Amino acid sequence: MTAIEPDDSTRRTLAMFIGPEVVALILVLVLAPIVGLLITMSQHGTRPEIVAPSQAAVAQSPSPSPSGPAALNLAPARNVLATVDRLLQVRSALEKQIPPHVGDAASITNLLGQLNQVVTGADEAGLAAMAADARTQPLARKISLIEHAAAATAQTTQGASLTNTQAYVRGAADVVVTLQPLVGLRQELVTLIGAPKASASPGASAPPAGSAAPEASQPPGSATP
């Protein structure tokens, strides 16, 4: 058979139908499903798996245990309470040496000596232990200041001559006023350590009239030899 060659008009007709647009459309129809399939496979292959912790592992994990404040050591407070009681006993005795009572210089200097002995032999370690704890620090500082202020007044008063009774009476009145706050601080100590409350605290009576006389407000060293 002899091949029939297309004439020029046939070639132009075929070129019209098979152009660049047709080729591009064929490529899109063929390649689009392939590209979509590749994208889907790649997504499934790289997706990380999230593993939830098992309930048993959560239950076995240790939980932090709350820690409460350390127990308060009450031994120092008991020793300090004993010192406060002795000081208040001296205060009660000094009250009987100031107006409206008649004071005696020899008796007053003896009581002031007892006060100095109590302060000298006080449990400084107990006060220091209480001052080291924030819960009892204010109470310890107040007691320490009162003790040393009363002892300083007593020493100044004892520098006067025993013939100067008025100087000793003024000094005794100053000590009585200085020790007055110990009555309330003693109750704080009793509450702190849970000690049984006495019917009347030592030295709990109010200072008698005359203890706040102008002479009592004079600074230490006012006693004339």
The number of beta carbons lying within 10 Å of the beta carbon of residue 152 is 17
Q: What are phi and psi of 102, to 5 degrees?
A: -95, 125
pLDDT of residue 215: 41
Contacts of 25 (CB under 8 A, 6+ apart): none
Tens digits of per-residue pLDDT, 26-85? Answer: 666 766 677 677 777 666 655 555 555 555 554 555 555 555 567 888 999 999 999 999
Tokens of 132: 């080291």
* Residues 97 and 208 sit within 8 Å (Cβ to Cβ): no
Q: Residue 218 carries which DSSP code?
A: S
Q: How far apart are CA 151 and CA 180, in angstroms?
A: 14
Q: How far apart are CA 80 and CA 136, in angstroms?
A: 12
DSSP reduced 3-state for 116: helix
Q: Which residue has the higher pLDDT, 59 or 166?
A: 166
pTM for this entry = 0.58
* Residues 170 and 223 sit within 8 Å (Cβ to Cβ): yes
Q: How far apart are CA 49 and CA 69, in angstroms?
A: 46
- Could you tell me how many residues make up the chain? 225
DSSP reduced 3-state for 3: coil
Tokens of 161: 């001559």
* Residues 68 and 166 sit within 8 Å (Cβ to Cβ): no
Tens digits of per-residue pLDDT, 97-115? Answer: 999 999 999 999 999 999 9
- Reference 192, options 88, 68, 86, 78; nearest CA is 78
pLDDT of residue 71: 85
Q: Residue 141 carries which DSSP code?
A: H
Domains contained in the chain, CATH given: 75-217 (1.20.120)
Q: What are phi and psi of 78, to 5 degrees?
A: -65, -40
pLDDT of residue 93: 97
Tens digits of per-residue pLDDT, 119-165? Answer: 988 878 889 999 999 999 999 999 999 999 999 999 999 999 999 99
